[in-house]
Amino acid sequence: FVTNYFSKNLFEKSEGKSVGLSYLKERDFREGTIKKFKLGYSIDKWEDYSQHALDNGYKKDVLVGTGLSIDKDDKLLDRFRGRVIFPIHNLTGRVIGFGGRILSSEKSKAKYLNSPESDIYNKSKVLYGIFFARNAIAKLDNCFLVEGYTDVISLHQSGIENVVSSSGTSLTIDQIKLISRYTPNITMLYDGDPAGIKASFRGIDLILEQGMNVKIVLFPEGEDPDSYARSHTTSETENFIVSTAVDFIKFKTGLLKKETEGDPT
């Protein structure tokens, strides 16, 4: 119900079109892709979708319980005001939570905001894009793991569909087990920031502990999977991933070697 409301805002309301849709078009997302992932927009008002849901018979405790609304002084306030909305689907394609990206440059607000944990949404057990990726992961016997929503969507749009994201959380054992239902092979796609890579070592160790195979792809400086997929053809992106993927041992050794270059000890 709320997913459809967000989608309508994006395509039919003037604020949604001028703010949300123009942002997504700037990211080169085609209308078919926007509709496939059910992207939407939340109007920048305090009570817009909370009131809309109440008017349509939804109970206050459901809105608060799913994290859509915040109960403040007996008023329901919208959690995702003025944000582009990324619905999070479970394995069977049902929407169980949302991610929202703010478009203003207000420093006091988080760039991304996710649904809180609820009876239906447990972020440590969910991978963004798994519903759209599972068949391709099984068919290609490999899962590409990226960091953000837009990385998943851009790769999908360019025809590379075996891709999921851990949606802003550190990789968990439950997420790894979810991938292992379809393939024992994971290729992690990173923008080339060594600090970020080092922080991800724990997740990589968890994958290895589950007896799975890990390869790493580092994108050129200043690029990430999203930007690379938008500025290259599908075959160029695929060739880059295949030709630069290295197994974890080689990757870690290379990184440690770089750190000790010029060190006399």
Helix runs in 92-193, H state only: 130-140, 149-157, 173-180
Whether 6 has a pLDDT exceeding 70, the answer reads yes
Q: How far apart are CA 83 and CA 105, in angstroms?
A: 12
Per-residue pLDDT, 265: 58
Per-residue pLDDT, 263: 66
Yes or no: say if 238 and 187 are a contact pair by the CB < 8 Å rule.
no
| Angle at 86 (CA atoms; ends 159, 175), nearest 5 degrees | 75
Least confident of 111-115, 142-146, 165-169, 236-240: 165-169
Per-residue confidence at 260, pLDDT binned at 50, 70, 90? confident
Per-residue confidence at 105, pLDDT binned at 50, 70, 90? confident
Supply the mean pLDDT for the chain. Answer: 93
Whether 189 has a pLDDT exceeding 70, the answer reads yes
Per-residue pLDDT, 257: 78
Helices 248-260 and 201-209, packing angle to 10 deg: 150
Q: What is the pLDDT of residues 194-240, one digit of tens each?
A: 666 776 788 889 999 999 999 999 898 889 999 999 999 999 999 99
Yes or no: say if 16 and 5 are a contact pair by the CB < 8 Å rule.
no
Helices 201-209 and 173-180, packing angle to 10 deg: 50
| Angle at 197 (CA atoms; ends 265, 168), nearest 5 degrees | 155
Q: What is the pLDDT of residues 7-58, one digit of tens each?
A: 999 999 999 999 999 999 999 999 999 999 999 999 999 999 999 999 999 9
Q: How far apart are CA 139 and CA 136, in angstroms?
A: 5
Token pair listed for 54: 């109440």
Mean pLDDT of 95-113: 89
Per-residue pLDDT, 190: 85
Yes or no: say if 190 and 215 are a contact pair by the CB < 8 Å rule.
no
Yes or no: say if 10 and 29 are a contact pair by the CB < 8 Å rule.
no
Per-residue pLDDT, 221: 85
Per-residue pLDDT, 40: 98
* DSSP state letter for 128: B
State CA 192 to chain mean position distance: 18
Per-residue pLDDT, 195: 65
Per-residue pLDDT, 116: 95
41 bridge partner residues: 84
Q: What length does the chain have?
A: 265
Yes or no: say if 214 and 186 are a contact pair by the CB < 8 Å rule.
yes
